[in-house]
Amino acid sequence: MNPRHLPLTLAIAALSLGLAAPAPAQPLANPFFAFDNGTGRDQKLPLEQQAELVKRTGYAGIGYTGALKVPEMLSALESRGLKMFSIYVAVHVDGEKPSYDAALPEAVRQLKGHGTVIWLTVQGAAPDAEDRAVRMVREVADLAAQSGLRVVLYPHMGFYVGRIEDALRIRKLAGRPNIGVTFNLTHFLAVKDEPNLDQRLREALPYLEMVSINGAEHEGGWDRLILPLDRGEFDVLGLLKKLAALGYKGPIGLQCYQVPGDTEENLKRSMAAWRKFQERM
């Protein structure tokens, strides 16, 4: 069981006495960070300016993309009291042989002691894709372990690990203690699994180390499944309440991929929505 998850002692005791379980308020105290696809990465904003923007708008840090310029991003963030929560990288199971970014080993060395997770997608297809995926995830996990880092599988619609069930399966087969999984709202909705939300959260909980959220409609393309946090029909507050009731205390990231409009205004709107969620919880 992940140490972030607290036992529901009062509820269990009440049930054993035949009483209705109490429903205490669950605070929303998770670290809340922004993906760098919403901090100016795609506009080529310098790393120092991205870090300053995140600081100014109230986020706890950044989910970074790639394995290059890691020391520069760490410095920009940590000098402002912020954290690099993750680096988003991939393993590929297609081609002549499976692979991952050649810069990853050096990035892993640079990240030692910073508490950053390797946020890992598994991409591609091959006749022996399952064996390749397991082998590569195991290799990345062993590499990360040398720096005391964790690997958290990131389900992405259309990739080999496209659903949270895939992440759980590969985590189990890889058999490494430093592998966890992500609940990724956008891609969960994209694979049309919303009716099974409660079940998926329960299944993932023992291994759940990262969560990503955003405003969203219930279905559609990325322009409907990735919105600022104050937009969309999907009940994000309800999701956060479910996670809190389950005892999830880990980081929560804001997905911002291709959200139109002004970068800073979008971050401010989503932070305002987050703070309203905190008040309501």
What stretches of the chain adopt beta strand conformation (E)?
Answer: 32-35, 61-65, 83-92, 99-100, 117-123, 151-153, 179-184, 208-213, 252-254
Query: Which burial class, exposed, middle or buried, applies to 87 when counting CB atoms under 10 A from its CB (0-12, 13-18, 19+)?
Result: buried
Q: Which pair of tokens denotes residue 262?
A: 């002004």
pTM over 0.85: yes
Q: Which pair of tokens denotes residue 138?
A: 């195991």
Q: Residue 27's pLDDT is what?
A: 87
Question: What residues contact residue 158 under an 8 Å CB cut-off, 6+ apart?
Answer: none
Dist. CA 215–CA 198, nearest whole Å: 19
Place of tokens 């971050």: 267
What CATH code would you report for 31-280? 3.20.20.150
Q: Residue 205's pLDDT is what?
A: 98
CB atoms within 10 A of CB 238: 10
**pLDDT by position in tens, the chain (length 281):** 454 444 444 343 333 444 344 445 678 999 999 999 999 998 899 999 999 999 999 999 999 999 999 999 999 999 999 999 999 999 999 989 999 999 999 999 999 999 999 999 999 999 999 999 999 999 999 999 999 999 999 999 999 999 999 999 999 999 999 999 999 999 999 999 999 999 999 999 999 999 999 999 999 999 999 999 999 999 999 999 999 999 999 999 999 999 999 999 999 999 999 999 999 99
CA atoms within 13 A on the CB side of 68: 3
CA distances from 201 to 14, 46, 147, 188 (A): 23, 37, 29, 11
Beta bridge partners of 254: 34, 213
- Angle between helix 164-174 and 197-204 (nearest 10): 20
Helices and strands in the chain: count of H runs, count of E runs: 11, 9
Question: What residues contact residue 96 under an 8 Å CB cut-off, 6+ apart?
Answer: none
Which H/E stretch holds residue 135? helix 129-145
- Angle between helix 70-78 and 47-57 (nearest 10): 30
What stretches of 188-275 adopt beta strand conformation (E)?
Answer: 208-213, 252-254
Q: Residue 25's pLDDT is what?
A: 62
